[in-house]
Amino acid sequence: MDLFTLAVFRTVATEKSFSRAAVKLARTQPAISLAVKRLEEEVGQILIDRSGRQPRLTDAGQVVLDHARRFENLTSELDVALAELRDNATGRLLIGANESATLYLLPLISRYRRCYPRVKVQVRRSQSSKIPTEIIEGDLELGVISYDPNDTRLVTRIIYTDHLACVVAPQHRLARRRSVSIADLGVETFIGHIVVSPYKEVVVREFERLKVPLNRDLEMPTVEAIRKMVQRNEGVAFLPRMCVEEEIAQGTLREIHVRGLMAERKIRLVRPAARTLSHAASAFLALL
């Protein structure tokens, strides 16, 4: 089983077409079909169901695809590692983070770029819940999340402590209040993030405990959209303080303290426990 055959199979599975895979790999379609057939003979199982209009992976095919992707990641890591051996100043740093967590990386990346300007830095947007798995499987080298994954295969380090801020528009009826109770918010429309998070659950549980209605009639896909809707005075929101610092400083949003509700966010940098980090990633950790 060679890497090229696995790459052919991976391309067919990704493209869901033998002909498109042939075009992408600059090979003839019979050559692509023959490579997949030889791989099936080698593993002793059918990997692709060809009976329908579109090729479909069998269960065995899905297993082989998962491992083929790991081989691809390992090959990429090998290329980067060899490049770093030739020149320690170059390489690639790949970090996974969701939309809000990316903000915590900005000052660190600025410092890092000043020290290592030739390293290619990539911050891949990913769901926070998936980042630990992506690190374990080798798709990411480092990750930034706002919870403890509780996995012995990972090492975590707190790099920032933040909190959820209750924000309103300057013209909102509560904007001039220094603090409010949860009961004061029972009549408000809350603009929420459509993605489930442990911090959202903290807010929900506290409202439920006090039997105060939490009117979540409006949900947005991004923090930016939530922020703009609040600025339009369409409702109030709980957002990470780091995400609204600039708007609060400029006066386009107001933060109000909610008595009895303090949702602290501990931002963690996550890395694999057993795998050796690249020089680029080790240098990033050293900056912390």
Q: Check pLDDT > 90 for residue 156.
A: yes
Q: Check pLDDT > 90 for residue 173.
A: yes
Q: In this predicted structure, what is the pLDDT of residue 210?
A: 92
Percent pLDDT > 90 in the chain is: 43
CA pair distance 105, 111, nearest whole angstrom: 10
Whole-Å CA distances, 114 to 104, 107, 117, 277: 17, 11, 6, 21
Q: Are 138 and 78 in contact (CB under 8 A)?
A: no
How confident is the model over 81-88, as a mean pLDDT?
62
Q: Quick one: three-class SS letters along 46-57?
A: CCEECCCCCCEE
CA pair distance 172, 170, nearest whole angstrom: 6
**pLDDT-based confidence at 1, cuts 50/70/90?**
low
pLDDT in tens, 131-145: 999 999 888 999 999
Q: Is this structure's pTM higher than 0.75?
A: no
Helices then strands, counting H and E runs in the chain, come out as 10, 12
For residue 139, which amino acid is it?
D
**pLDDT-based confidence at 207, cuts 50/70/90?**
very high
Q: 234: helix, coil or strand?
A: coil
Helical H segments across the chain, by residue range: 3-15, 18-25, 29-43, 59-86, 99-115, 131-136, 198-209, 223-231, 241-250, 279-287
CA pair distance 197, 195, nearest whole angstrom: 6
Q: Are 190 and 236 in contact (CB under 8 A)?
A: yes
CA pair distance 276, 204, nearest whole angstrom: 41
Q: In this predicted structure, what is the pLDDT of residue 166?
A: 95
Catalogue all structural domains in the chain, each as residue range(s) with its CATH number: 3-74 (1.10.10.10), 82-159+267-287 (3.40.190.10), 161-266 (3.40.190.10)
Q: Give the residue with greater pLDDT, 88 vs 239.
A: 239
C-alpha dihedral (12, 13, 14, 19), degrees to nearest 10:
30
pLDDT in tens, 242-264: 889 999 999 999 999 999 888 88
C-alpha dihedral (231, 232, 234, 235), degrees to nearest 10:
10
Residues sharing a CB contact under 8 Å with residue 54, sequence separation 6 or more, in sequence order: 16, 17
Q: Are 218 and 235 in contact (CB under 8 A)?
A: yes
Sign of the Cα pseudo-torsion (190, 196, 202, 208, in order): positive
pLDDT in tens, 21-46: 899 889 999 999 998 998 888 889 89
Q: In this predicted structure, what is the pLDDT of residue 68?
A: 85
Q: Check pLDDT > 90 for residue 154.
A: yes
**pLDDT-based confidence at 238, cuts 50/70/90?**
very high
**Most confident range, picked from 46-50, 193-197, 270-274:** 270-274
